[in-house]
Amino acid sequence: MKLPVLTDVLDAARTIAPYVGVTPLEYSPALSRQTGAEVYLKLEMLRETRAFKIRGACNFMAHLSAEQRQRGVVAASGGSHAQGVAFAARRFGVKATIVMTERSPANLRQICRDYGAEVIVAGQVYEDAGERAAAIAAATGAVTVHSFDDPLIVAGQGTIGLEILQALPEVDAIIAPVGGGGLLGGVGLAAKSVNPAIRVIGVEPAGAASMTAALVAGRPVRLENVGSVADKLVTRSTGALNLALAQKYCDEVVLVEEGAIRQAMRDLLGVANLLAEGAAASALAALRLRTAELAGKRVALILTGGNIDAGVLASLLGEAIG
């Protein structure tokens, strides 16, 4: 298996530049005071689709041949990848069919429809939707846009790492949320290729620790009964590509509990005035488990997006008031 390299990420940055804006890397005095680290927040919730997945989707779409664009694309997603593919398909004039899980927020489904995609609802988690998407691809000839286990997707997500390094060349550590592992793999590749001393830390919900299981086993492992308020990170298994990248470029993966993620979501709203999805807040939860090691260090937290189900937001606000 040929792994992507730094030049692939650099190429992706040039490719997606006309379609994807650079997001801010913002210093947080409050979180720095609370954690003892110099905390910088990579604000991916401020982009067009309120999530980082647009990067990989645009890079993938840009590399389709004219014949592939004519056939259209199909993708499976719990939410953010769906929006990224729908956005990219609209920009490139490609027909898109998106299979979204039953747990995906209704408003995100409508956003995908508003971008022009056909939306089908199937399954409880990403892999369930993936099976339906694979059947559609086999029947129609549409090109599958995988959420994380694809070199073009990984290279696109890796552009976040480049932007962090451009804004903060002296960064000591980067914390990246992990679902399938495309973000961790791409960012780790970019960061370590430029400066191997940068500490790259992945973070997973304890209830959906597919990358941790794979790193222990040395191969992708299928988990059952996965779930988390960080719904964008819930997958039953990582892919072989992203496991190999994590083995090469990731220093450790931290597991965070549900209560810690929910607390981090409330804190990002109350302290930083940021509406952060569970996946994004998991980065802050991980930092709080590593304050001793990262005290005084310049730490970038990748806040993956701000797409929160209204019911989850209501419960969080209730907890904060209570």
Q: Which domains does the chain have, with CATH numbers?
A: 6-50+150-321 (3.40.50.1100), 54-144 (3.40.50.1100)
- How far is Cα 129 from Cα 13, in angstroms, rounded to an integer? 29
| Residue 103 banded pLDDT, cuts 50, 70, 90 | confident
Residue among 175, 189, 251, 187 at smallest CA distance from 215? 251
Question: What six digits make up the tokens of 146?
Answer: 């995988």
Q: Which residues contact 160 (CB under 8 A, 6 or more apart)?
A: 42, 44, 52, 55, 183, 186, 187, 190, 302
Question: Tens digits of per-residue pLDDT, 2-51?
Answer: 899 999 999 999 999 999 999 999 999 999 999 999 999 999 999 989 99
How much is the pLDDT for 307? 86
pLDDT of the residue at 153: 97
Question: What pTM did the predictor assign?
Answer: 0.95
Q: What is the pLDDT of residue 128?
A: 87
**Predicted pLDDT of residue 28:** 98
Q: pLDDT, tens digit, for every residue of 286-310?
A: 999 999 999 999 999 999 999 887 7
d(Cα 187, Cα 179) in Å, to the nearest integer?
Answer: 14
pLDDT band, residue 320 (cuts 50/70/90)? low
Q: Name which residue leads in pLDDT, 212 or 316.
A: 212
277: pLDDT strictly greater than 90: yes
- pLDDT tens string 60-94: 999 999 999 999 999 998 778 999 999 999 999 99
